[in-house]
Chains A and B, each alone.
Chain A
Amino acid sequence: MADLAGANGNRENFRVVGKPNLPGLTSYAMATGVAKFGSDFTVPDMLFAKILRSPYAHARVLSIDSAVALAIPGVTDVVKWDDPIFSEVGNDPMAGTKPSFLLNEAHKEGQEVGAIVIAESEALCEEGLRALKIEWEELPFIVDIEKGLDPDFPAIRGQEYDESGTYGAPTITKEGHPWMVQHYPEDPRKVGNVSWSTKSDGDVAKGWSEADFVLEYDVNVHDVVSLLPNPQASVAWWSEQNMYKHGETLRIEGAVGRRGMIAQMYGLPADNVIQEGLFQGGKYCDWGLRMSQEITPLLSKKAGKPVRCCNTREENFDMCVNERHAHIRLGVKKNGLITAVEDSTVIDHGAPNSSEMTTYDRDWNGYYSLKCENIIQRYTIVDSNRSFMYTCGQFVPYSWDMITVGLYLISEKLGIDPTEIARLNLHGPDSQKDTRPVPSFEACLEEGKKLMDWQWHKAGTKRLPDGRLHGAAFRYQMCPRHAFLQYFTKLEYRDGVVHLPTQGPIAGWFGTECFTMIAAEELGLNYEDICVDYDYRAQHTDEAGGSDGVTGHGWIVKECANILKKKILDAAVREAEIEITRFGPVEMPKPPSPIKGYTADELDIADGKVFVKSDPSRFVPFSSATSETITAEYGGNSPKAAWSTEFGRKLDTMNTSWCEVAVDEETGEVEILKYGVVIDPGKVIRRTSLESQIDQVVYFSQGAQLLEEYILDPETGVKLNANMIDYRKPTTLDVPVVDKGVLETRAGNGAYGASGIAHNLANSHMIVTAIHNAIGVWVDPPATPDRVIKALANAAAEKGVQK
């Protein structure tokens, strides 16, 4: 990989990168309401669409009589699932194949099914939906995955659904998961609603023989809704104006950064799909494109008018992180060194067209950060009608906590500080056989201890002055990164200003601000000197794959900026040689340039000037260094990230998280007294973004462990709490300020050794581990007061103590 600047890891002085409090480029628009989101687009003659949703957890539409609905003034059409128009649209390449775009079978309550009503208002759409006479066939459903394990329970999905998949990954067939069949042909094939897959590394039998004792524990992860803060809304319309290239043009707004995919679905050149809106609302590594967003172009085509389709808040509760129940056995030596890992997990496969990534992939598991190479992971995968289970950024760190809990339990058993157990078990930078310490981990560990005034104690042994029990926990993780993606950047010097053409919509992680800072750093300019041109046709995109992707993409920007810099200096040399200025036919002598006679290598750019390195008093303003328009392009990969290729078997930038809780044994209330993180993002690019990502992820983790739960009625499979009152996201009053320590070891793969932190601070079990440390009893998340009370009562009952 070229390092044109030669300044990735060894640049010492930064003028722009890392500077705090630089404003976001779109912050003003968002703070003042100027920002226009999908639902804000109103187009003349616009129609509205609403999709029928299943009131049942699993049901088939046998017939729909739409006569009454169509008789309602203002209802213009009822499109049924068997309408030939659905054959005109392809599949979202990220969403795999489906038997048809709209089906007559729903696999979860609230799923789009059977029909779409188009009308002159949203209220009329709803009235039309209510007027449909629908013959439903209720089908067997599974919302309790234990029930799904029953081999006698009828299969809830047909083969046609098994062969569909999401995000390019094929799902299981009757023969099993294709990848697993190829690599692990000994796995049994699917039976009923259950399939299996096993992944084995090292010599597990040898690991057991080396162990002095075996530690067994359960880690239960419940469904957490991957909830976007704003319900999706998109509006689409077609034009025959031949504005771009040739043929019809599709304008779509509110489709969550998927212009290219929408183009593929509708067989259009990408440039014929226009998406000018910059704002899509919050999004946290949620790749789920809702049907309402994909289908508006089709409906618009059928209606011959613009069509808007909005989801309600309730409809937005449709994607979850998988529920999983892991039973884990660790072989452990007397000193706490793990020799074998056996993970038997039952996992909720969700409804068809769920993400397979979350179900099968386990290379990202924290086990591979251990010196122990003897690991077997057996997954039992159960189809269900609970929800779509989607790839969500939180998944990766979630699976990491199977080992967080294990390390904690070893420390409890041996009476050794868990940080020491972690240090003992963590492998070195290069491989699981590497016994050297990881510098980034060591630095984060020591800083974290100072930040928290870390004083470990055994479970149930520390009581606070107010009578509550005190607990503490720690976890580590490496910074997982998406830097396997290819990125492209184009910079342009035009009329004395550097432009960064960028495709919208913005993704919410302020990547463009980081890129602007990097470009300014390399070009010797200030942040505000770089002009970002938002243009949907630009190839450069804000969508970089999270903060980790931003740093990988940042490498590309850095390289590109240096190409541009060289071109500008070359042009400045040419410009300095020009002695005559022309205004049309008039020629005028030009004053001699102060940099005339110097080569590009002898020049540099700083403080808005192109100057002679050996004599900085000789300079020309950057804005008039050349009259040429200069472009620079650069694309490709950043240097490989350890995580992207080795998934924890190599370790570079890492982080530690810490928390202290107080537990009221009588009421079951848990209070987080202190939450601290010490992270090593390699190099801070934009501190504001980094801190807000930390806050967001910790907020998510606290909600998931203390409050949030996706609740379905056991009798009907219907969601009971799909609203912001009953699904308890924490409010700002509920979460403490996160104490942050930020280290810069420059050990990452992105620009200047940055790595970003991605989602690595999200966790499913650190807070509940601290609760165990307080009360000595496991409480599965969410550790709501009722669960804490139940767990304490059960523990007391086991001990024969009357509470």
Chain B
Amino acid sequence: MRAFNHINAKSLDEATALLKKDGSVAIAGGGDLLGALKDDIFPDYPKLVVNIKSIPELDNIVLDGNILKIGTLVTLADAARNPLVIESAKAVSDAAGAASSPTLRETTTIGGNVCQLPRCWYFRKLGNRFNCARKGGERCFAISGDNRYHSVFGTGVFKTDSNTNRGCIAVNQSDLAPILAAMGAEFVTTERTIKAADFFGVGVLSATVLNMGELLIEIRIPVSEVSKNCRYKRFAFRKSIDFPVLSVTVAVDADKSYRVVIGGAAPTPYIAVKAEEVVKGKNITDELAQEAGIAAINGAKPYKENEYKLQIIKTLVKRELIALGSN
């Protein structure tokens, strides 16, 4: 790892001011950043690392009326074992308890999990070997390379500083992102409040729509039928350590309006609208669930190496809807 300056921010104002300067990055649990720094994956090595763990009051979990508020610095382990989370949004607890590894969950944070950069192996290759579009380069190497873990729902298109369109097929592998999208969570930042559906994005060195210097402070989950009737299923090759190759979140409200959100399938959490339409207002049957599974992959555009993902999505959507229906 190269040398850099490190500052323990004492307040959000101090942190955001520092993070607006070129060459600065925020660190909390370090689960994402430390690996990136060690592997030297950035085109420009950060000069300043701003520690936000030193900012007080960002690691609380409170139930405020019917809003569950989870501070950005809450560790995955704390989120997983917190009674309020278990009671009002168990899927969040399930996902937090399955993410990463037992040891890392004690240090890595909810905020870090939802803001993490792509795990694409071209993006992550040591020494910035592939200066890909997601780092400001000209192309996505995965499109013509080995894309077995990449998007089956198209390319994330974004504009560079020079207003040029670029595309990237790396997927969002956050465990929590699809659940928060399904639950209609809101993300409170130092500048605004953003709906979950709008929070995740694709940009140069970014997996969210956060501006430079803008920090996530808190996640607000409406406690409702949806947050309580929500199931999360991650699909990974190993039982620990792995990021999910795919995940499926299903939820339903009192009016039998369903949410079906797929993680690991697209550059941002993918809302399977067609699947939701199939089951809307209906009781789940095996046949209906199967139909929804097929609908979930409607419009998919897999690459040569990742067509298998469609079969898994189809199956997981079907099984999770059946399980949801039998609750």
- Give residues in A with beta carbon < 8 Å to B: 55, 123, 126-127, 314, 666-668, 707, 711, 713-715, 718, 720-726, 728, 730-731, 733-734, 784-786, 789-790, 793, 803
Structural contact, A731 and B308, CB atoms closer than 8 A:
no
A711: which B residues are within 8 A, CB to CB?
Answer: 121, 146
Interface residue range, chain B: 35 or more
Structural contact, A731 and B239, CB atoms closer than 8 A:
yes
- Nearest residue (CB) in B for A731 is B240
A666: which B residues are within 8 A, CB to CB?
Answer: 311, 314-315
- Nearest residue (CB) in B for A803 is B311
Structural contact, B311 and A667, CB atoms closer than 8 A:
yes
Q: Nearest 8 pairs between A and B by C-beta?
A: A786-B308, A733-B239, A666-B315, A720-B121, A789-B308, A731-B240, A789-B311, A733-B240
- Nearest residue (CB) in A for B306 is A786
Distance from B203 Cβ to chain A, minimum over Cβ atoms (Å): 23
Structural contact, B1 and A784, CB atoms closer than 8 A:
no
- Nearest residue (CB) in B for A668 is B308
B254: which A residues are within 8 A, CB to CB?
Answer: none
Interface flag for B145 (CB, 8 Å): yes
Structural contact, A721 and B121, CB atoms closer than 8 A:
yes
A734: which B residues are within 8 A, CB to CB?
Answer: 238-240
Distance from A128 Cβ to chain B, minimum over Cβ atoms (Å): 12
- Nearest residue (CB) in A for B293 is A666
A733: which B residues are within 8 A, CB to CB?
Answer: 238-240
A726 to B245 alpha-carbon distance, docked (Å): 11
A394 to B224 alpha-carbon distance, docked (Å): 55
A731 to B240 alpha-carbon distance, docked (Å): 7
- Nearest residue (CB) in A for B319 is A666
Structural contact, A720 and B238, CB atoms closer than 8 A:
no
Structural contact, A720 and B122, CB atoms closer than 8 A:
yes
Interface flag for B2 (CB, 8 Å): yes
- Determine the main DSSP class of A at the interface with B: loop
Interface flag for B58 (CB, 8 Å): no
Structural contact, B237 and A728, CB atoms closer than 8 A:
yes
Name B100-133 residues within 8 Å CB distance of A.
Answer: 119, 121-122, 124-127, 129-130
B309: which A residues are within 8 A, CB to CB?
Answer: 786
A123 to B144 alpha-carbon distance, docked (Å): 34
Which of A667, A734, A790 gathers most chain B CB within 10 Å? Answer: A667
Q: Which residue from B121, B126, B315 sits with its C-beta under 8 Å from A667?
A: B315
Structural contact, B237 and A707, CB atoms closer than 8 A:
yes
Interface flag for B235 (CB, 8 Å): yes
Interface flag for B158 (CB, 8 Å): no
Structural contact, A785 and B240, CB atoms closer than 8 A:
no
A506 to B242 alpha-carbon distance, docked (Å): 33
Structural contact, A786 and B148, CB atoms closer than 8 A:
yes
A725 to B245 alpha-carbon distance, docked (Å): 12
Structural contact, B3 and A123, CB atoms closer than 8 A:
yes
A123 to B242 alpha-carbon distance, docked (Å): 29
A785: which B residues are within 8 A, CB to CB?
Answer: 235, 237, 245, 308, 312
Name B209-234 residues within 8 Å CB distance of A.
Answer: none
Q: Which residue from B145, B238, B311, B312 sits with its C-beta under 8 Å from A728?
A: B238
Structural contact, B145 and A713, CB atoms closer than 8 A:
yes
B240: which A residues are within 8 A, CB to CB?
Answer: 731, 733-734
Distance from A356 Cβ to chain B, minimum over Cβ atoms (Å): 30
A731 to B238 alpha-carbon distance, docked (Å): 7
Q: Which residue from A707, A713, A723 sits with its C-beta under 8 Å from B238?
A: A707
A724: which B residues are within 8 A, CB to CB?
Answer: 241
Structural contact, B241 and A126, CB atoms closer than 8 A:
no
A314 to B145 alpha-carbon distance, docked (Å): 20
- Answer whether A314 and B242 are a contact pair too, CB < 8 Å, given A123-B2, A715-B144: no
Interface flag for B243 (CB, 8 Å): yes
Structural contact, A126 and B243, CB atoms closer than 8 A:
no
- Nearest residue (CB) in A for B121 is A720
Distance from B236 Cβ to chain A, minimum over Cβ atoms (Å): 10
A410 to B235 alpha-carbon distance, docked (Å): 36
Interface flag for B141 (CB, 8 Å): yes
Distance from B113 Cβ to chain A, minimum over Cβ atoms (Å): 15
Interface flag for B316 (CB, 8 Å): yes
A123: which B residues are within 8 A, CB to CB?
Answer: 1-3
- Answer whether A728 and B242 are a contact pair too, CB < 8 Å, given A314-B126, A667-B235: yes
A760 to B119 alpha-carbon distance, docked (Å): 37
A707 to B242 alpha-carbon distance, docked (Å): 12
Structural contact, B121 and A726, CB atoms closer than 8 A:
yes
A668 to B311 alpha-carbon distance, docked (Å): 9
8 new A-B contacts at CB < 8 Å, known A714-B145, A715-B141, A786-B305: A126-B2, A668-B312, A713-B122, A718-B125, A724-B241, A725-B243, A731-B238, A803-B311
B235: which A residues are within 8 A, CB to CB?
Answer: 667, 785
Distance from A122 Cβ to chain B, minimum over Cβ atoms (Å): 9
A726 to B242 alpha-carbon distance, docked (Å): 8
Q: Which residue from A718, A722, A725 sits with its C-beta under 8 Å from B242?
A: A725
A714: which B residues are within 8 A, CB to CB?
Answer: 145-146
- Nearest residue (CB) in A for B40 is A126
- Nearest residue (CB) in B for A707 is B237
A721 to B122 alpha-carbon distance, docked (Å): 9
B126: which A residues are within 8 A, CB to CB?
Answer: 314, 722
Interface string of B150-163 (1 = CB under 8 A from A): 00000000000000
Distance from B131 Cβ to chain A, minimum over Cβ atoms (Å): 12
Distance from A691 Cβ to chain B, minimum over Cβ atoms (Å): 23
23 pairs from A and B in contact (CB 8 Å cutoff): A55-B129, A126-B2, A127-B2, A314-B126, A666-B311, A666-B315, A667-B316, A713-B141, A721-B121, A725-B241, A725-B243, A726-B124, A731-B239, A731-B240, A731-B241, A733-B238, A733-B240, A734-B239, A785-B237, A785-B245, A786-B305, A789-B312, A790-B308
Distance from A414 Cβ to chain B, minimum over Cβ atoms (Å): 34
B145: which A residues are within 8 A, CB to CB?
Answer: 713-715
Structural contact, B237 and A784, CB atoms closer than 8 A:
yes
A803 to B294 alpha-carbon distance, docked (Å): 12
B308: which A residues are within 8 A, CB to CB?
Answer: 668, 785-786, 789-790
B238: which A residues are within 8 A, CB to CB?
Answer: 707, 728, 730-731, 733-734
A713: which B residues are within 8 A, CB to CB?
Answer: 122, 141, 145-146
A723 to B242 alpha-carbon distance, docked (Å): 12
B122: which A residues are within 8 A, CB to CB?
Answer: 713, 720
Interface string of B235-261 (1 = CB under 8 A from A): 101111111010000000000000000
Interface string of B35-57 (1 = CB under 8 A from A): 00001000000000000000000
B146: which A residues are within 8 A, CB to CB?
Answer: 711, 713-714, 720
- Nearest residue (CB) in A for B45 is A130
A136 to B199 alpha-carbon distance, docked (Å): 43
A132 to B235 alpha-carbon distance, docked (Å): 44
B144: which A residues are within 8 A, CB to CB?
Answer: 715
A723 to B129 alpha-carbon distance, docked (Å): 15
Name B31-79 residues within 8 Å CB distance of A.
Answer: 39
A126: which B residues are within 8 A, CB to CB?
Answer: 2
Structural contact, A667 and B241, CB atoms closer than 8 A:
no
A726 to B315 alpha-carbon distance, docked (Å): 24
Distance from B103 Cβ to chain A, minimum over Cβ atoms (Å): 12
Distance from B321 Cβ to chain A, minimum over Cβ atoms (Å): 14
A785 to B242 alpha-carbon distance, docked (Å): 14
A714 to B2 alpha-carbon distance, docked (Å): 30
A711 to B305 alpha-carbon distance, docked (Å): 13
A438 to B136 alpha-carbon distance, docked (Å): 66
Distance from A119 Cβ to chain B, minimum over Cβ atoms (Å): 13
A707: which B residues are within 8 A, CB to CB?
Answer: 237-238
